Structure 1
């Protein structure tokens, strides 16, 4: 499964919380802005690494829920959320050598 990062830029977040309706891992933080809490989802037992600083929230996941995170980012009217793959499960591009093609 590919790993992906969800980044919330706090200076762009207006606390509209459209993201909360698309992905239950998004919650309202103590500062009144969106944040990510993997334990907030009552349906899935979710694990993720979340770093919350004064400037941004960065959460890294390795589950199959990247589409939910992308929907939350798309719903953000201020474009404060970015979702991007950290690494791919499969290498992309052509094989390195003719031997790899034969295998």
Structure 2
């Protein structure tokens, strides 16, 4: 399975939350912007490493759900989400 990284650039996020409907790991953060919570998915037992700073949220996953993350990124009207494969 590919290992991939999902980045949300907070300065580009407008809190529109189109990503939330494409991938349940995306949730509204305390700051009113999108963030990632692997345990928020009610269907899959998902694990991931999440770093949340003032500038960005970075999550690393090694599951088979990269397409869902890419759909969330494509739905973002401000292009605040980047999904990159970072290894296998």
Gaps of 5+ in 1: 90-103
Over the residues paired in the alignment, what is the CA RMSD in angstroms?
A: 0.4
Residue in structure 2 matched with residue 28 of structure 1 by the alignment:
28
TM-fit CA distance, 1:39: 0.2
Alignment: residue pair count: 88
- Taking structure 1 as the reference length, what is the TM-score of the superposition? 0.85
Deviation by residue 1:43-95 (Cα, 9 ceiling, x = unmatched): 000000000000000000000000000000000000000000001x3xxxxxx
Q: Which has the larger radius of gyration?
A: 1
* SS in structure 1 of the partner of residue 83 of structure 2: strand
Q: Which has the higher strand share?
A: 2
1:1-103 mapped onto 2 (5 Å cutoff) = 1-87=1-87, 89=88
**Equivalent-residue separation in structure 1 for 2:36 and 2:69 (angstroms):** 10
With normalisation by structure 2, the TM-score equals 0.99
Moved over 6 A (4+): none
